[in-house]
Chain A
């Protein structure tokens, strides 16, 4: 059996397979999240049914939306900078998809086992701001430009707490590598009891909360949606986009939520692992190939829980004012995360 499966794939072959797999890993969960939360959960929260016509319980609504957007005319504003305008959505989407590359889904189910792991992911995630700025500027519209500038100011401000919240985890795990962070949580012990491992959400709860708040802001959605505030800016940097390019911004936004939920579940919730005592009950080794099957399911579950929280907050809270939003990042989140880093470092040395 092993000899049968041991196909020798050339390096370009693995690259092609991995590229398709990244597309699936990003797009399928994104579709799930959009249907489950954006279409259905928000409808139930507002005492309505949501889409019901396309497919059973409206489950094919998403395909209908994609079909609608694909056949729309590709409109460029008359005075727009065509090349920059056309390029902007690609930059947003690609920077999001590149994030998926570092996420481990099992002991061997990884795209690349990068040594810099989470650091590279945070670095690449900051590139999407450039796409947003390009979109805002190239649209030749005051609303778009204001939306783009607000987005840039907000993303710069919340990039810092996002990175600083992760530093605590990195100090505790002693590595930047995502796979090693998962193993550190499996091998961790709670006061000598190793049955649950040590999900870093227990020791880094402050970091976890700051991370999730910063993710909410990175997504530029309620309560941090000043960049696309409908009542002021129509739709911010996306105002002039239609059809396929609007769809790309749309996918980019929800894919970012999915990917950041994946990152958060690796960093704080133990990633693809299940509690060690369950592993023992099942009689499995932690490195066994079974975890390449169980891992993605576990990751998907954790991702759905975290995105549930993200959209719960989105549909519950009112919008921050611009100055409150900036103050919250610079005067609350960053100092708290710095204190968190200092305490974590101190405890790491002492214990």
Chain B
């Protein structure tokens, strides 16, 4: 959601000189509206599986935003990781444990106002920092889709330390999961 809104802010500033830019902007507003609708429905729906499916729509729309910005690799990764793996596991878990069809009454929580407040605060902070950082930056009008090679080059040279740190973190999580799941 936040990613969608902030990249929309970037888009609105790029020079709209030709029809393609107009089309791109129109598409952006359509998918942003879908994202907003799905995000609101996700927290207001009264069925756990429906909530998971709405979350799925939000994640898919984020992939669409990546494609609109020319970040093909990020979009494909978003689909593979979030839609293909995480959401499938989440749905799998939900359906194994509580897969009631229809309306559920006990989904509400008394602390929802605090949760909402935290969400609004988080969005304010992230929006502010994004606007603060990228306010004056414009996307080039003749931009091309980002090549996968460029992504690889920057990951394995400029950002090698964070990349290795994340790899180590994932390995630790993996080993932790194995240790927790072991019976003996």
Residues of A within 8 A of B (CB): 79-81, 84, 114-116, 119-120, 122-124, 126-127, 129-130, 133-134, 136-138, 140, 145, 148-149, 152-153, 155-156, 159, 176
Contact = CB atoms under 8 A, between A and B. Distances in A.
Contacts of A114: 72
9 contacts: A79-B102, A119-B73, A119-B148, A123-B84, A126-B85, A136-B95, A137-B95, A152-B92, A159-B84
B80 interface: yes
Nearest to B147: A115
Given A127-B83, A130-B83, A138 B101 contact: yes
A122 B49 contact: no
Interface in B67-93: 72-73, 75-77, 79-80, 83-85, 87-89, 91-92
B99 A137 contact: yes
Given A127-B84, A133-B92, A136-B95, 9 more contacts: A115-B145, A119-B80, A126-B84, A126-B85, A127-B83, A129-B88, A130-B56, A145-B95, A152-B88
Contact of A153 (B50, B92, B101): B92
A123 B148 contact: no
Given A81-B101, A115-B147, A149-B92, A130 B76 contact: no
Contacts of B91: 130, 133, 137, 152
B31 interface: no
Contact of B83 (A79, A122, A126, A155): A126
A115 B72 contact: yes
A130 B95 contact: no
A92 to B, nearest CB: 13
A81 B104 CA distance: 13
Which of B47, B84, B85, B101 counts the most A-chain CB atoms under 10 A from its CB? B84
A79 B87 contact: no
Interface of A is mostly: helix
B73 A116 contact: yes
Contacts of A133: 88, 91-92, 95
A79 B145 contact: no
Contact of B148 (A116, A145, A156): A116
Contact of A116 (B72, B84, B95, B96): B72
Which of B83, B87, B88, B96 counts the most A-chain CB atoms under 10 A from its CB? B88
A119 B95 CA distance: 29
A152 B85 CA distance: 10
Contacts of B102: 79, 81
B101 A127 contact: no
Nearest to A156: B88
B10 interface: no
Given A140-B101, A152-B92, A119 B49 contact: no
B53 interface: yes
B177 to A, nearest CB: 14
Contacts of B83: 123, 126-127, 130
Contacts of B101: 79-81, 137-138, 140
A130 B145 CA distance: 28
A84 B53 contact: yes
Smallest CB-CB A-B distances: 10 pairs = A126-B84, A123-B80, A123-B79, A120-B76, A123-B76, A116-B72, A116-B76, A81-B101, A133-B91, A152-B92
A129 B84 contact: yes
A111 to B, nearest CB: 15
A145 B97 CA distance: 12
A229 B29 CA distance: 45
Contacts of A122: 80
